[in-house]
Amino acid sequence: MARTARTFRPARRRGRGAFTFIEILATLALLAIVLPSIMTGISLCLSTAELARQQAQACSLGHAKLMELVADGQWQHAELAGDFGEDWPEYLWTAELRDWDGELLQELGLTVLWQSRGKDRHVTFSTLVHSGGTP
């Protein structure tokens, strides 16, 4: 039996090997439509996250200041306004006393103020304190 020599032929690929110009243009047009919406959404999410962080910080500072005023009895004789020092210069606080139950109890309200994106923001806390009167 005689063998015949076969020549090696590389296999030809069927189908395309690259994108067409029209497919690339269609993709770019779709990106030009979708990307601005995505970037607006990301920007909105970031600003909302920043406001949430500021509110959480204001709540933490306000709660600590209210507890300090009550624990030390500063609400009876100290100035009821101020700031939170060099660490938190953007936050201010004010407090006020209101009669709640005749002579026995007063409501101590504390408001933390700050500015965010050009708007005044605030959170308010309150608690009842014994005013020292007798029933």
Q: Give residue-wise pLDDT tens across range 48-81.
A: 999 999 999 999 999 999 999 998 888 888 788 9
Place of tokens 């109890």: 105
DSSP class per residue in 4-47 = PPPPP-PPPPPS-SS--HHHHHHHHHHHHHHHHHHHHHHHHHHH
Domain contains 98: yes
* Residue ranges making up the domain that contains 96: 21-130
- In tens, the pLDDT along 77-118 reads 878 899 999 999 999 999 998 888 777 888 999 999 999 888
Domain contains 5: no
User: Region 16-27: what's the mean pLDDT?
Assistant: 87
Domain contains 69: yes
Domain contains 11: no
Domain contains 13: no
Domain contains 12: no
Domain contains 14: no
- Band (pLDDT 50/70/90 cuts) for residue 38 is very high
The pLDDT of residue 7: 72
The pLDDT of residue 31: 93
